[in-house]
A = this chain, B = another copy of it.
Amino acid sequence: MQNKNYPKEILSIIRSNSAPAELREKLLNYHENDLADALTALTPEERQKLYPILGIEYVAEIFSYFDDAEPYLKELPSKEAAKVISNMDSDDAVDALDDLEEEDKRKIVSHLDEDSAEDVRMLLSYDEDEIGSSMTTNYICIRKGMTIRQAMKELVRQAGENDNISILYVVDESGRFYGAIDLKDLIIARSEDSLEKLIVRSYPYVTDHEKISACIDQIVDYAERSLPVLNSDKELIGIITASDVVELVDNELGDDYAKLGGLTGEEDLNEGVWDSVRKRFPWLIALLFLGMLVSSVVGMFESVVAVLPIVICFQSLVLDMAGNVGTQSLAVTIRVLMDENLTGTKKLRLLFKEMRVGLINGALLAVLTLVSLGIYIHFFKGYDWGQAFLLSGCVGISLIVAMIISSLVGTVIPIFFHKIHIDPAVASGPLITTVNDLVAVVTYYGLAMIFLIDVFHLA
Protein backbone atom coordinates (compact mmCIF):
# COMPACT_ATOMS: atom_id res chain seq x y z
CA MET A 1 0.00 0.00 0.00
CA GLN A 2 1.26 3.40 -0.98
CA ASN A 3 -0.48 5.08 1.92
CA LYS A 4 1.65 3.71 4.69
CA ASN A 5 2.90 7.23 5.20
CA TYR A 6 -0.51 8.50 6.37
CA PRO A 7 0.25 7.81 10.06
CA LYS A 8 3.52 9.73 9.66
CA GLU A 9 1.69 12.69 8.09
CA ILE A 10 -0.78 12.60 10.95
CA LEU A 11 2.00 12.63 13.52
CA SER A 12 3.61 15.70 12.01
CA ILE A 13 0.23 17.46 11.85
CA ILE A 14 -0.45 16.71 15.52
CA ARG A 15 2.98 17.96 16.50
CA SER A 16 2.75 21.08 14.34
CA ASN A 17 1.20 23.26 17.07
CA SER A 18 -1.86 24.12 14.98
CA ALA A 19 -4.83 25.79 16.67
CA PRO A 20 -7.32 23.16 17.94
CA ALA A 21 -10.02 23.92 15.35
CA GLU A 22 -7.53 23.80 12.50
CA LEU A 23 -5.94 20.65 13.88
CA ARG A 24 -9.31 18.94 14.10
CA GLU A 25 -10.19 20.02 10.57
CA LYS A 26 -6.96 18.54 9.26
CA LEU A 27 -7.25 15.28 11.18
CA LEU A 28 -10.81 14.68 9.96
CA ASN A 29 -9.25 14.17 6.53
CA TYR A 30 -7.75 10.87 7.60
CA HIS A 31 -9.19 7.43 8.10
CA GLU A 32 -9.73 6.37 11.72
CA ASN A 33 -7.48 3.36 11.21
CA ASP A 34 -4.57 5.61 10.22
CA LEU A 35 -5.32 7.89 13.15
CA ALA A 36 -5.27 4.88 15.47
CA ASP A 37 -1.87 3.93 14.08
CA ALA A 38 -0.58 7.44 14.61
CA LEU A 39 -1.97 7.65 18.15
CA THR A 40 0.05 4.64 19.24
CA ALA A 41 3.20 6.62 18.45
CA LEU A 42 2.24 9.58 20.66
CA THR A 43 3.12 10.02 24.32
CA PRO A 44 0.23 9.56 26.80
CA GLU A 45 0.27 13.33 27.45
CA GLU A 46 -0.03 14.12 23.74
CA ARG A 47 -2.95 11.74 23.45
CA GLN A 48 -4.72 13.29 26.47
CA LYS A 49 -4.41 16.72 24.88
CA LEU A 50 -5.73 15.43 21.57
CA TYR A 51 -8.88 13.69 22.77
CA PRO A 52 -10.92 16.80 23.66
CA ILE A 53 -9.97 18.33 20.33
CA LEU A 54 -11.22 15.32 18.39
CA GLY A 55 -14.42 14.95 20.38
CA ILE A 56 -15.76 11.82 22.04
CA GLU A 57 -17.50 10.30 19.00
CA TYR A 58 -14.44 10.50 16.83
CA VAL A 59 -12.21 9.21 19.64
CA ALA A 60 -14.56 6.24 20.06
CA GLU A 61 -14.30 5.44 16.35
CA ILE A 62 -10.52 5.62 16.51
CA PHE A 63 -10.44 3.39 19.58
CA SER A 64 -12.35 0.68 17.74
CA TYR A 65 -9.39 0.39 15.36
CA PHE A 66 -6.82 -0.39 18.08
CA ASP A 67 -5.63 -3.99 17.96
CA ASP A 68 -5.41 -3.89 21.73
CA ALA A 69 -7.27 -1.00 23.32
CA GLU A 70 -6.16 -1.79 26.87
CA PRO A 71 -3.18 0.58 27.30
CA TYR A 72 -5.18 3.50 25.87
CA LEU A 73 -8.29 2.82 27.92
CA LYS A 74 -6.21 2.47 31.07
CA GLU A 75 -4.74 5.93 30.53
CA LEU A 76 -8.21 7.40 30.97
CA PRO A 77 -10.23 7.76 34.18
CA SER A 78 -12.91 5.01 34.21
CA LYS A 79 -15.64 7.56 33.58
CA GLU A 80 -13.93 8.87 30.48
CA ALA A 81 -13.14 5.36 29.29
CA ALA A 82 -16.80 4.45 29.78
CA LYS A 83 -17.82 7.40 27.61
CA VAL A 84 -15.52 6.21 24.83
CA ILE A 85 -16.88 2.66 25.08
CA SER A 86 -20.47 3.96 25.14
CA ASN A 87 -19.88 5.70 21.83
CA MET A 88 -18.52 2.62 20.09
CA ASP A 89 -20.43 0.11 17.98
CA SER A 90 -21.59 -2.56 20.39
CA ASP A 91 -19.40 -5.31 18.96
CA ASP A 92 -16.34 -3.06 18.99
CA ALA A 93 -17.20 -2.06 22.56
CA VAL A 94 -17.26 -5.70 23.63
CA ASP A 95 -13.98 -6.36 21.81
CA ALA A 96 -12.35 -3.42 23.59
CA LEU A 97 -13.71 -4.51 26.97
CA ASP A 98 -12.40 -8.02 26.34
CA ASP A 99 -8.90 -6.55 26.02
CA LEU A 100 -9.13 -5.42 29.66
CA GLU A 101 -8.55 -7.29 32.88
CA GLU A 102 -11.71 -8.35 34.77
CA GLU A 103 -11.35 -5.62 37.42
CA ASP A 104 -10.94 -2.76 34.92
CA LYS A 105 -13.71 -4.14 32.74
CA ARG A 106 -16.14 -4.25 35.67
CA LYS A 107 -15.28 -0.68 36.63
CA ILE A 108 -15.84 0.69 33.14
CA VAL A 109 -19.05 -1.28 32.57
CA SER A 110 -20.47 0.22 35.76
CA HIS A 111 -20.04 3.70 34.22
CA LEU A 112 -21.54 2.90 30.81
CA ASP A 113 -24.68 4.76 29.79
CA GLU A 114 -27.84 2.68 30.03
CA ASP A 115 -28.27 1.87 26.34
CA SER A 116 -24.68 0.78 25.86
CA ALA A 117 -24.63 -1.21 29.09
CA GLU A 118 -27.67 -3.14 27.94
CA ASP A 119 -26.17 -3.84 24.50
CA VAL A 120 -22.85 -4.87 25.97
CA ARG A 121 -24.50 -7.17 28.50
CA MET A 122 -26.53 -8.78 25.73
CA LEU A 123 -23.50 -9.40 23.52
CA LEU A 124 -21.48 -10.74 26.46
CA SER A 125 -24.28 -13.18 27.24
CA TYR A 126 -23.46 -15.21 24.11
CA ASP A 127 -20.77 -17.84 23.78
CA GLU A 128 -17.80 -16.79 21.73
CA ASP A 129 -18.74 -19.20 18.94
CA GLU A 130 -22.32 -17.99 18.68
CA ILE A 131 -23.43 -15.42 16.11
CA GLY A 132 -24.85 -13.20 18.86
CA SER A 133 -21.38 -12.47 20.22
CA SER A 134 -20.27 -10.90 16.93
CA MET A 135 -23.29 -8.82 16.02
CA THR A 136 -23.65 -5.09 16.30
CA THR A 137 -26.70 -3.17 17.48
CA ASN A 138 -25.93 -0.20 15.25
CA TYR A 139 -28.44 -0.39 12.44
CA ILE A 140 -31.34 1.50 11.00
CA CYS A 141 -34.67 0.06 12.07
CA ILE A 142 -38.06 1.30 10.89
CA ARG A 143 -41.65 0.22 11.53
CA LYS A 144 -43.69 -1.30 8.75
CA GLY A 145 -46.52 0.86 7.41
CA MET A 146 -44.48 4.02 7.01
CA THR A 147 -44.53 6.12 3.85
CA ILE A 148 -41.37 6.61 1.82
CA ARG A 149 -41.10 10.16 3.09
CA GLN A 150 -41.40 9.03 6.73
CA ALA A 151 -38.82 6.30 6.18
CA MET A 152 -36.40 8.83 4.68
CA LYS A 153 -36.90 11.14 7.65
CA GLU A 154 -36.37 8.27 10.06
CA LEU A 155 -33.22 7.31 8.18
CA VAL A 156 -31.80 10.82 8.48
CA ARG A 157 -32.64 10.84 12.18
CA GLN A 158 -31.06 7.48 12.93
CA ALA A 159 -28.07 7.90 10.59
CA GLY A 160 -26.53 10.32 13.06
CA GLU A 161 -26.02 7.50 15.53
CA ASN A 162 -25.76 4.43 13.33
CA ASP A 163 -23.04 3.66 10.84
CA ASN A 164 -24.58 0.79 8.96
CA ILE A 165 -27.12 2.42 6.73
CA SER A 166 -26.87 0.42 3.50
CA ILE A 167 -29.79 -1.75 4.50
CA LEU A 168 -32.83 -0.58 6.45
CA TYR A 169 -34.44 -3.21 8.60
CA VAL A 170 -38.20 -3.25 9.00
CA VAL A 171 -40.01 -4.67 12.04
CA ASP A 172 -43.71 -5.10 12.73
CA GLU A 173 -45.65 -3.65 15.69
CA SER A 174 -44.30 -6.27 18.10
CA GLY A 175 -40.64 -5.85 17.04
CA ARG A 176 -40.65 -9.00 14.93
CA PHE A 177 -38.50 -8.94 11.79
CA TYR A 178 -40.62 -8.00 8.81
CA GLY A 179 -38.14 -7.49 5.99
CA ALA A 180 -35.30 -5.39 4.63
CA ILE A 181 -34.97 -2.42 2.29
CA ASP A 182 -31.92 -1.72 0.19
CA LEU A 183 -31.02 1.93 0.86
CA LYS A 184 -30.38 2.28 -2.86
CA ASP A 185 -33.99 1.37 -3.62
CA LEU A 186 -35.22 3.90 -1.08
CA ILE A 187 -33.03 6.63 -2.52
CA ILE A 188 -34.19 6.16 -6.08
CA ALA A 189 -37.85 5.63 -5.14
CA ARG A 190 -40.39 8.40 -5.81
CA SER A 191 -42.05 9.74 -2.71
CA GLU A 192 -45.46 8.61 -3.96
CA ASP A 193 -44.34 4.95 -4.26
CA SER A 194 -45.41 2.52 -1.56
CA LEU A 195 -42.71 1.59 0.95
CA GLU A 196 -44.17 -1.89 1.24
CA LYS A 197 -43.13 -2.61 -2.33
CA LEU A 198 -39.50 -1.88 -1.51
CA ILE A 199 -39.42 -4.34 1.38
CA VAL A 200 -37.84 -7.71 0.66
CA ARG A 201 -39.96 -9.90 2.89
CA SER A 202 -38.13 -13.23 2.77
CA TYR A 203 -34.80 -11.69 3.52
CA PRO A 204 -32.09 -14.10 4.71
CA TYR A 205 -31.31 -13.97 8.42
CA VAL A 206 -29.28 -15.72 11.09
CA THR A 207 -30.34 -16.52 14.64
CA ASP A 208 -28.45 -15.37 17.71
CA HIS A 209 -27.52 -18.79 19.11
CA GLU A 210 -26.37 -20.29 15.81
CA LYS A 211 -22.78 -21.54 15.81
CA ILE A 212 -20.61 -19.28 13.70
CA SER A 213 -18.79 -22.22 12.12
CA ALA A 214 -22.12 -23.73 11.08
CA CYS A 215 -23.43 -20.73 9.16
CA ILE A 216 -20.38 -18.76 8.08
CA ASP A 217 -20.31 -20.38 4.64
CA GLN A 218 -23.90 -19.39 3.98
CA ILE A 219 -23.35 -15.87 5.29
CA VAL A 220 -20.45 -15.52 2.86
CA ASP A 221 -22.65 -16.82 0.02
CA TYR A 222 -25.15 -14.01 0.50
CA ALA A 223 -22.35 -11.47 0.04
CA GLU A 224 -24.52 -8.82 1.67
CA ARG A 225 -23.52 -5.58 3.33
CA SER A 226 -25.27 -6.87 6.43
CA LEU A 227 -27.61 -9.65 7.56
CA PRO A 228 -30.16 -9.43 10.38
CA VAL A 229 -29.78 -11.44 13.57
CA LEU A 230 -33.04 -12.66 15.11
CA ASN A 231 -33.77 -14.28 18.45
CA SER A 232 -36.00 -17.31 18.86
CA ASP A 233 -39.09 -15.05 18.83
CA LYS A 234 -38.01 -13.72 15.41
CA GLU A 235 -37.33 -10.34 16.96
CA LEU A 236 -34.58 -8.27 15.35
CA ILE A 237 -31.79 -7.87 17.91
CA GLY A 238 -28.74 -7.01 15.84
CA ILE A 239 -26.95 -7.29 12.52
CA ILE A 240 -23.81 -8.91 11.16
CA THR A 241 -21.96 -6.50 8.86
CA ALA A 242 -19.63 -7.35 5.99
CA SER A 243 -16.65 -6.27 8.13
CA ASP A 244 -17.82 -8.69 10.82
CA VAL A 245 -17.94 -11.40 8.16
CA VAL A 246 -14.35 -10.64 7.14
CA GLU A 247 -13.33 -11.06 10.76
CA LEU A 248 -15.33 -14.25 11.19
CA VAL A 249 -13.92 -15.82 8.03
CA ASP A 250 -10.44 -14.79 9.09
CA ASN A 251 -10.94 -16.39 12.52
CA GLU A 252 -12.53 -19.59 11.26
CA LEU A 253 -9.98 -20.24 8.54
CA GLY A 254 -7.07 -19.03 10.66
CA ASP A 255 -8.15 -21.45 13.33
CA ASP A 256 -8.36 -24.40 10.97
CA TYR A 257 -5.01 -23.42 9.54
CA ALA A 258 -3.38 -23.28 12.96
CA LYS A 259 -4.84 -26.61 13.97
CA LEU A 260 -3.67 -28.29 10.79
CA GLY A 261 -0.22 -26.95 11.61
CA GLY A 262 -0.40 -28.58 15.03
CA LEU A 263 -1.06 -25.42 17.01
CA THR A 264 -4.03 -25.07 19.32
CA GLY A 265 -4.62 -21.49 18.18
CA GLU A 266 -3.32 -18.83 15.83
CA GLU A 267 -0.04 -17.21 16.81
CA ASP A 268 1.49 -13.96 15.79
CA LEU A 269 4.87 -12.34 15.96
CA ASN A 270 4.20 -10.52 19.20
CA GLU A 271 3.19 -13.59 21.11
CA GLY A 272 5.37 -14.49 24.09
CA VAL A 273 7.51 -17.62 24.08
CA TRP A 274 5.50 -19.20 26.89
CA ASP A 275 2.21 -18.53 25.15
CA SER A 276 3.59 -20.29 22.10
CA VAL A 277 4.84 -23.18 24.20
CA ARG A 278 1.39 -23.51 25.73
CA LYS A 279 -0.25 -23.54 22.30
CA ARG A 280 2.05 -26.18 20.87
CA PHE A 281 2.78 -28.45 23.81
CA PRO A 282 -0.61 -30.23 24.05
CA TRP A 283 -0.30 -31.58 20.53
CA LEU A 284 3.30 -32.64 21.07
CA ILE A 285 2.61 -34.49 24.29
CA ALA A 286 -0.30 -36.34 22.72
CA LEU A 287 2.01 -37.31 19.91
CA LEU A 288 4.75 -38.39 22.27
CA PHE A 289 2.60 -40.95 24.01
CA LEU A 290 0.96 -42.15 20.83
CA GLY A 291 4.46 -42.34 19.36
CA MET A 292 5.50 -44.64 22.19
CA LEU A 293 2.67 -46.92 21.18
CA VAL A 294 4.10 -47.05 17.67
CA SER A 295 7.51 -47.75 19.18
CA SER A 296 6.27 -50.80 20.99
CA VAL A 297 4.75 -52.14 17.78
CA VAL A 298 8.01 -51.53 15.90
CA GLY A 299 9.67 -53.41 18.75
CA MET A 300 7.81 -56.55 17.72
CA PHE A 301 9.79 -56.57 14.50
CA GLU A 302 13.22 -56.32 16.11
CA SER A 303 13.92 -59.86 14.91
CA VAL A 304 13.35 -58.86 11.28
CA VAL A 305 15.78 -55.97 11.58
CA ALA A 306 18.33 -58.11 13.36
CA VAL A 307 18.61 -60.50 10.40
CA LEU A 308 17.91 -58.01 7.57
CA PRO A 309 19.12 -54.56 8.70
CA ILE A 310 18.66 -53.02 5.24
CA VAL A 311 14.88 -52.84 5.80
CA ILE A 312 15.28 -49.98 8.27
CA CYS A 313 16.56 -47.77 5.45
CA PHE A 314 13.09 -47.48 3.98
CA GLN A 315 10.98 -47.30 7.14
CA SER A 316 11.07 -43.49 7.20
CA LEU A 317 10.15 -43.39 3.51
CA VAL A 318 7.01 -45.50 3.95
CA LEU A 319 5.99 -43.74 7.15
CA ASP A 320 6.56 -40.23 5.75
CA MET A 321 4.53 -40.97 2.63
CA ALA A 322 1.67 -42.45 4.63
CA GLY A 323 1.76 -39.46 6.96
CA ASN A 324 1.64 -36.98 4.11
CA VAL A 325 -1.21 -38.70 2.34
CA GLY A 326 -3.13 -38.78 5.61
CA THR A 327 -2.57 -35.05 6.13
CA GLN A 328 -3.76 -34.32 2.60
CA SER A 329 -6.97 -36.24 3.19
CA LEU A 330 -7.40 -34.59 6.59
CA ALA A 331 -6.96 -31.11 5.13
CA VAL A 332 -9.60 -31.75 2.48
CA THR A 333 -12.03 -33.46 4.85
CA ILE A 334 -11.94 -30.72 7.47
CA ARG A 335 -12.82 -28.08 4.90
CA VAL A 336 -15.61 -30.23 3.48
CA LEU A 337 -17.02 -30.90 6.95
CA MET A 338 -17.47 -27.17 7.51
CA ASP A 339 -20.63 -27.52 5.44
CA GLU A 340 -23.19 -28.55 8.05
CA ASN A 341 -25.66 -29.79 5.46
CA LEU A 342 -23.43 -32.63 4.40
CA THR A 343 -25.48 -35.80 3.97
CA GLY A 344 -24.33 -39.33 4.72
CA THR A 345 -24.23 -40.06 0.99
CA LYS A 346 -21.91 -37.16 0.39
CA LYS A 347 -19.63 -38.31 3.20
CA LEU A 348 -19.50 -41.79 1.67
CA ARG A 349 -18.73 -40.24 -1.69
CA LEU A 350 -15.87 -38.30 -0.12
CA LEU A 351 -14.56 -41.44 1.53
CA PHE A 352 -14.71 -43.37 -1.70
CA LYS A 353 -13.06 -40.56 -3.59
CA GLU A 354 -10.23 -40.23 -1.06
CA MET A 355 -9.62 -43.97 -1.33
CA ARG A 356 -9.36 -43.79 -5.08
CA VAL A 357 -7.03 -40.81 -4.90
CA GLY A 358 -4.91 -42.74 -2.41
CA LEU A 359 -4.90 -45.80 -4.66
CA ILE A 360 -3.93 -43.87 -7.77
CA ASN A 361 -1.23 -41.82 -6.07
CA GLY A 362 -0.03 -44.92 -4.24
CA ALA A 363 0.15 -46.99 -7.42
CA LEU A 364 1.99 -44.27 -9.33
CA LEU A 365 4.51 -43.81 -6.54
CA ALA A 366 4.87 -47.55 -6.02
CA VAL A 367 5.93 -48.09 -9.62
CA LEU A 368 8.41 -45.25 -9.36
CA THR A 369 9.73 -46.65 -6.10
CA LEU A 370 10.01 -50.20 -7.41
CA VAL A 371 12.17 -49.12 -10.31
CA SER A 372 14.34 -46.47 -8.68
CA LEU A 373 14.87 -48.27 -5.37
CA GLY A 374 15.61 -51.53 -7.16
CA ILE A 375 18.39 -49.86 -9.12
CA TYR A 376 19.64 -48.06 -6.02
CA ILE A 377 19.76 -51.25 -3.90
CA HIS A 378 21.51 -53.21 -6.63
CA PHE A 379 24.24 -50.66 -7.21
CA PHE A 380 24.76 -49.14 -3.78
CA LYS A 381 23.90 -51.95 -1.43
CA GLY A 382 25.45 -54.78 -3.42
CA TYR A 383 22.36 -57.01 -3.67
CA ASP A 384 21.82 -58.92 -6.92
CA TRP A 385 19.00 -57.77 -9.23
CA GLY A 386 16.46 -60.31 -8.00
CA GLN A 387 17.00 -59.51 -4.35
CA ALA A 388 17.08 -55.78 -5.05
CA PHE A 389 13.68 -55.88 -6.73
CA LEU A 390 12.26 -58.10 -4.00
CA LEU A 391 13.27 -55.44 -1.50
CA SER A 392 12.03 -52.51 -3.57
CA GLY A 393 8.86 -54.44 -4.38
CA CYS A 394 8.26 -54.85 -0.68
CA VAL A 395 8.59 -51.06 -0.23
CA GLY A 396 6.35 -50.43 -3.24
CA ILE A 397 3.54 -52.70 -2.05
CA SER A 398 3.76 -51.20 1.43
CA LEU A 399 3.44 -47.76 -0.12
CA ILE A 400 0.22 -48.66 -1.96
CA VAL A 401 -1.35 -50.33 1.07
CA ALA A 402 -0.22 -47.59 3.46
CA MET A 403 -1.41 -44.82 1.16
CA ILE A 404 -4.87 -46.27 0.60
CA ILE A 405 -5.38 -46.90 4.29
CA SER A 406 -3.96 -43.48 5.18
CA SER A 407 -6.39 -41.79 2.82
CA LEU A 408 -9.21 -43.67 4.48
CA VAL A 409 -8.01 -42.96 7.99
CA GLY A 410 -7.45 -39.29 7.13
CA THR A 411 -11.10 -39.11 6.08
CA VAL A 412 -12.84 -41.39 8.57
CA ILE A 413 -11.26 -40.02 11.75
CA PRO A 414 -12.27 -36.38 11.21
CA ILE A 415 -15.77 -37.47 10.14
CA PHE A 416 -16.01 -39.54 13.31
CA PHE A 417 -14.86 -36.69 15.57
CA HIS A 418 -17.24 -34.34 13.81
CA LYS A 419 -20.07 -36.79 14.45
CA ILE A 420 -19.41 -36.92 18.19
CA HIS A 421 -19.05 -33.11 18.27
CA ILE A 422 -15.34 -32.93 18.96
CA ASP A 423 -13.47 -30.42 16.80
CA PRO A 424 -12.00 -32.65 14.07
CA ALA A 425 -9.22 -30.18 13.32
CA VAL A 426 -7.76 -30.50 16.81
CA ALA A 427 -8.26 -34.15 17.59
CA SER A 428 -7.55 -35.75 14.24
CA GLY A 429 -3.91 -34.84 13.66
CA PRO A 430 -2.15 -36.91 16.32
CA LEU A 431 -4.52 -39.84 15.99
CA ILE A 432 -4.17 -39.99 12.22
CA THR A 433 -0.38 -39.80 12.44
CA THR A 434 -0.38 -42.65 14.92
CA VAL A 435 -2.80 -44.91 13.11
CA ASN A 436 -0.99 -44.30 9.83
CA ASP A 437 2.37 -45.04 11.42
CA LEU A 438 1.01 -48.25 12.87
CA VAL A 439 -0.50 -49.35 9.58
CA ALA A 440 2.66 -48.50 7.69
CA VAL A 441 4.95 -50.23 10.17
CA VAL A 442 2.88 -53.41 10.32
CA THR A 443 2.48 -53.56 6.55
CA TYR A 444 6.10 -52.86 5.80
CA TYR A 445 7.77 -55.05 8.41
CA GLY A 446 5.07 -57.68 8.07
CA LEU A 447 5.68 -57.94 4.34
CA ALA A 448 9.43 -58.00 4.92
CA MET A 449 9.06 -60.79 7.47
CA ILE A 450 6.79 -62.94 5.38
CA PHE A 451 8.16 -62.35 1.89
CA LEU A 452 11.79 -61.49 2.27
CA ILE A 453 12.68 -63.70 5.22
CA ASP A 454 10.19 -66.57 5.39
CA VAL A 455 9.52 -67.07 1.67
CA PHE A 456 12.67 -65.92 -0.08
CA HIS A 457 15.16 -66.35 2.78
CA LEU A 458 16.86 -63.07 1.94
CA ALA A 459 18.48 -62.77 5.35
Interface residues of A (CB under 8 A from B): 1-4, 6, 9, 28-31, 33-34, 65, 155-156, 159-160, 163, 165-166, 179, 183-184, 187-188, 199-207, 210, 214-215, 218, 220-225, 241-243, 245-247, 249-250, 253-254, 256-258, 260-263, 266-269, 273-274, 276-277, 280-281, 283-285, 287-289, 291-292, 294-296, 298-299, 301-303, 305-306, 309-310, 312-317, 319-321, 323-325, 327-328, 330-332, 335-336, 339, 341-342, 346, 349-350, 353, 356-357, 360-361, 364-365, 368-369, 372-373, 376, 380-381, 433, 437, 441
Residues of B within 8 A of A346 (CB): 269
Residue of B218, B242, B320 near A287 (CB, 8 A) is B320
Q: How far is the CB of A239 from chain B (nearest CB, A)?
A: 13
Residues of B within 8 A of A336 (CB): 268-269
Bound together, the chains give a CA A368 to CA B261 distance in angstroms of 23
| A291 and B321 form a contact (CB under 8 A) | yes
Residue of B183, B187, B292, B342 near A376 (CB, 8 A) is B292
Residue of B nearest to A203 (CB): B31
Q: How far is the CB of A111 from chain B (nearest CB, A)?
A: 26
Residues of B within 8 A of A276 (CB): 332, 353, 357
Known contacts A306-B306, A336-B268; is A321 also within 8 Å of B284 by CB? yes
Residues of B within 8 A of A294 (CB): 316-317, 320
Known contacts A28-B200, A321-B288; is A302 also within 8 Å of B298 by CB? no
Residues of B within 8 A of A433 (CB): 320, 324
Bound together, the chains give a CA A288 to CA B210 distance in angstroms of 45
Q: How far is the CB of A411 from chain B (nearest CB, A)?
A: 12
Q: How far is the CB of A201 from chain B (nearest CB, A)?
A: 4
| A160 and B188 form a contact (CB under 8 A) | yes
